[in-house]
Amino acid sequence: MSTILVRQEVPLFAEQWDARLNEAFEHLHAERPDAAYEAFMRHLEQHPDDANAYEGAAVALLQQTRWDEAQQLTERGRAACPNSPILAARQTWLWVYLTRESEAYPLVVQLLEGGFRHPDWLRETVLPLRNVLICHASDPRLASPNKQKRQQERATLLKGIQTLEHWLERYQFPIPDEPVGTRITLSMIARNEAEYLEECLKSVQGVVDEIVLVDTGSTDATPRIAEKYGAKVIHAEWQNDFAAARNIALQHATGDWILVLDADERLTPESKQAILNAVRHPQFVGYYLEILNEIGAGNYFIHRLVRLFRRVPYARWEGAIHEQILPSLVSQKGRIATIAAQIRHLGYSKEVMRSRDKAQRNIEIILRELDKDPDDLFQRFNLANTYFTIGDYEQAAYWAEQTCPYLRGDEDFAGQIWADWVEALTNLERYEQALQVGADALARGIDHPMVHYTLAAVYARMGCAQKSLEALAAGRESAIRIGVLAPDGETVLLGSGYVGDVGVVTYKWRFAYARALRELGRLDEACTLYERLMQERPNDPIVLLDYGQTLLLVGAREHAETVFQQLATHEGYETLAQQLLAKTWWEAEDYRRALPYVRAVAYALPDQQEWWERWAHAAQETGDAHSLIDAYEFYTAQGNAPTAEMHINWGRALWQLRDYENALAHFAAAIELNPHDPNAFLNAGDALYQLGAYSEAADAYSAGIERDPYNAQAWFTLGNCYFRMGVYDAATIAYQQALQLDPKHAQAQHNLELTRERIRFTAA
């Protein structure tokens, strides 16, 4: 059921040994387990029946939390030394802490009857085994539905308890006066948590027997909601000290066990049975639970905290912030294990952090704690991490530098703080220093996925895509090695003891790897990873952005358009998506498909004239008069004055829509702005001609021809005006001039013949 996760002192039952083992035992007492284990095993090669050497080697393995190997070695030792009480005692110790109590009990009694009375063994094996039996006897959930069988089971348990207590008393080992049983108290502190509290309390229904909530000054419905669920509400003044408030709650608890939750936390449904099972094993004074901190949509950061512990007299919270119960529990050599239980924590998403201003509050409390104890590495870490969370990378890097070099390396937070340091320096663009810090972390044995991931990010920023790929590959190997990923490199194994951002071994890893592949031109491989990401996170705007751009590189414009359209639905990405959509078709010179997108961008970015120019150009290229008119109206609405050329184009679009009067107004405006431009006069002539003002049209055409006498079309349109006015001689001259300039002008030739016929008809 449980695995010891915290390296703690392991009792040694051997008291006298062969002098040749002195060096090995010295290593053991100095907590140099590697050297001790090697020395013991060398001795056993020559003396395979030395029970003390087996005991020492097993303890060396346990100092490294290598439980399976220690169990196997102990069994091997007992086979070689079947009459050794020391190895039998080690076997029972292991069974008790591997929750195999039913196997341990008969051997424990045999050892007691044989006179084995090592005080550490009595304390760490016999007393805990007695407590296990009490918990089983007092747990109504374990009772058999058959009354007679239930009575028999209880009688057996009571007899076992009496037997163990008899021997403890006989060997004058005091039985502590402390609660032993399976009743659970939910212990909470809260203020103005009405928004979150009820869901929290619902999540523990059927698990806890009592709720104690210390309210530190709520002005909302927090106390009333707690009382609705039967809570004992204690009102206490807030002293800027989380440990003080939690200790008040602890004082009012009556359960045998304490489960600790905050209002913005929820016990997952799958965790209920794990907790009910855990409290039947009081050989552990406390249990780690996994905290899933939600830091964004589908993104969470894992860490572990002791949130379930026995209500022993010495249990006490420490630390004004990021308070801990663990130091007090292990002060009396209590054993800490982990269980497959999880707590979802909502309170550290960026939105909630901002709304509650938690970060600034936390910084103030941490600084006060550091004033009391400047060498407190845990609080230095908390300060660095808080600054990192709010984006103050200078302060984050400073405090990380004050923390990392002094860590042992086996702290839960070691990987995170080293990674924070690397990333803070990266965000400050101090890349070489970031690489040095990352290399230092790895050299110190901080083989953590977050360190490798942040190093990959540094290389990516520096344009070293191949180096980035190598760092990411090392990060995945690290994740498999420490058990957060299964050997397939894909499956996340919860309960691994990993502390850090899960994303750096899942979707963030894939994203960074895909981006590096893209930079290296390995586009097909990159697309495969992006497609996987689209399945995992179909609405992640960053994934959509990168995937769409990669699709453009491989020429998949239709697919890219679909991806960018999806990106446009995300708040904050609308304009960027429209720009990318415009780019998709503009660069392909498909102005018809580009037109709606460049128009949308022009509206979104009115100060960037480039996009208006693209709008107008696309409208002209596609002959979309309505869109071109809209473009000019938008341009003018921004306070811009159109040029003469713009007025001409605007007028031509109106002319195309047969709005000749407004078209004429723009041509007139163009003439006023540039009276030397023949096009302005000629277009004005076209508008006047359509309005039937042939005389005025002829004047406009004449003015245009005066400025551009070699324009065959202008002479032709002038001829048409004269023809309409009945001035056939002038029309003839105009058509002849058009043909002189362009002998292939068929319409001029045709109209010239018509004019001559009209002259002949008139003369007749």
The whole-number average pLDDT for the span 646-660 is: 95
Residue-level pLDDT at 141: 80
pLDDT > 90 fraction of the chain, expressed in percent and rounded = 87
Tokens at residue 597, please? 């997108």
Contact predicate 459/467, CB 8 Å:
yes
The whole-number average pLDDT for the span 720-736 is: 94
Residue-level pLDDT at 2: 42
Q: What is the CATH number of domain 710-764?
A: 1.25.40.10
Position 5 confidence tier, pLDDT thresholds 50, 70, 90: very low
Query: DSSP character for 343?
Result: E
User: What does the H/E/C string look like for 74-110?
Assistant: HHHHHHHCCCCHHHHHHHHHHHHHCCCHHHHHHHHHH
Residue 558 pLDDT greater than 70, yes or no: yes
The whole-number average pLDDT for the span 345-359 is: 65
Tokens at residue 140, please? 């109504």
Residue 79 phi, psi (nearest 5): -65, -35
Q: Which residues sit opposite 336 in a β-bridge? A: 286
Q: Name the nearest CA neighbour of 204 among 224, 229, 181, 221.
A: 229
- Residue 374 burial (CB count, 10 A): 10
Position 145 confidence tier, pLDDT thresholds 50, 70, 90: confident
Task: Calculate the dihedral angle through the C-alpha atoms of 499, 505, 507, 509, rounding to the nearest 10 degrees.
Answer: 130
Q: Of 192-206, 285-299, 306-320, 468-482, give the lowest mean pLDDT range.
A: 285-299
The whole-number average pLDDT for the span 482-500 is: 85
> Could you give the CA distance from residue 618 to residue 223 in angstroms, rounded to a whole number?
64
Residue 350 pLDDT greater than 70, yes or no: no
Residue-level pLDDT at 439: 97
Residue 40 pLDDT greater than 90, yes or no: yes
> Could you give the CA distance from residue 182 to residue 131 in angstroms, rounded to a whole number?
11
- Residue 438 burial (CB count, 10 A): 27
Residue-level pLDDT at 353: 52
The percent of the chain in helix, strand and coil, each rounded to the nearest 5, is 65, 10, 30
Q: Is 287 helix (H, G, I), strand (E, B) or coil?
A: strand
pTM of the model: 0.79
Residue-level pLDDT at 300: 82
CATH superfamily of 184-350: Spore Coat Polysaccharide Biosynthesis Protein SpsA; Chain A (3.90.550.10)
Contact predicate 567/548, CB 8 Å:
yes
710-764 shares the fold of 184-350:
no
| Summary mean pLDDT of the chain | 93
- pLDDT per residue as tens digits for the range 52-72: 999 999 999 999 888 999 999
Domain chopping of the chain, boundaries = 3-170, 184-350, 357-499, 710-764
The whole-number average pLDDT for the span 119-139 is: 95
Query: DSSP character for 21?
Result: G
Indicate the residue type of 123: R
Position 354 confidence tier, pLDDT thresholds 50, 70, 90: low
Alpha helices (H) in 570-608, listed in sequence order: 574-586, 591-604
Residue-level pLDDT at 4: 45
Q: What angle do CA 612, 615, 617 make, to 5 degrees?
A: 110
Counting every residue, how long is the chain?
A: 764
Name which CATH class applies to 357-499. mainly alpha
Q: Name the nearest CA neighbour of 234 among 193, 266, 188.
A: 188
pLDDT > 70 fraction of the chain, expressed in percent and rounded = 97
> Could you give the CA distance from residue 98 to residue 76 in angstroms, rounded to a whole number?
18
Q: Is 27 helix (H, G, I), strand (E, B) or coil?
A: helix
Q: Which residues contact 388 (CB under 8 A, 6 or more apart)?
A: 396, 400, 420, 423, 424
Q: Name the nearest CA neighbour of 248 among 216, 219, 224.
A: 216
- pLDDT per residue as tens digits for the range 254-297: 999 999 999 999 999 999 999 999 999 999 999 999 999 887 76
Query: DSSP character for 312?
Result: -
Residue 289 phi, psi (nearest 5): -120, 150
Position 1 confidence tier, pLDDT thresholds 50, 70, 90: very low
Max CA distance (Å), the chain: 152
Q: Which residues sit opposite 252 in a β-bridge? A: none
Q: Name the nearest CA neighbour of 591 among 565, 563, 620, 632.
A: 620
The whole-number average pLDDT for the span 730-755 is: 94
- pLDDT per residue as tens digits for the range 397-426: 999 999 999 999 988 899 999 999 999 999
Residue 731 pLDDT greater than 80, yes or no: yes
Query: Any idea which residue has 């808080």 for tokens?
Result: 386
Name which CATH class applies to 3-170. mainly alpha
Q: Of 91-100, 349-358, 740-749, give the lowest mean pLDDT range.
A: 349-358
Paired sense of beta strands 299-310 and 284-296, if any: antiparallel
Position 144 confidence tier, pLDDT thresholds 50, 70, 90: confident
Residue-level pLDDT at 351: 56
What angle in degrees, to the nearest 10, is found between the helix axes of 127-138 and 85-97? 40
Distances (CA, A) of 499 to 474, 502, 607: 18, 8, 47
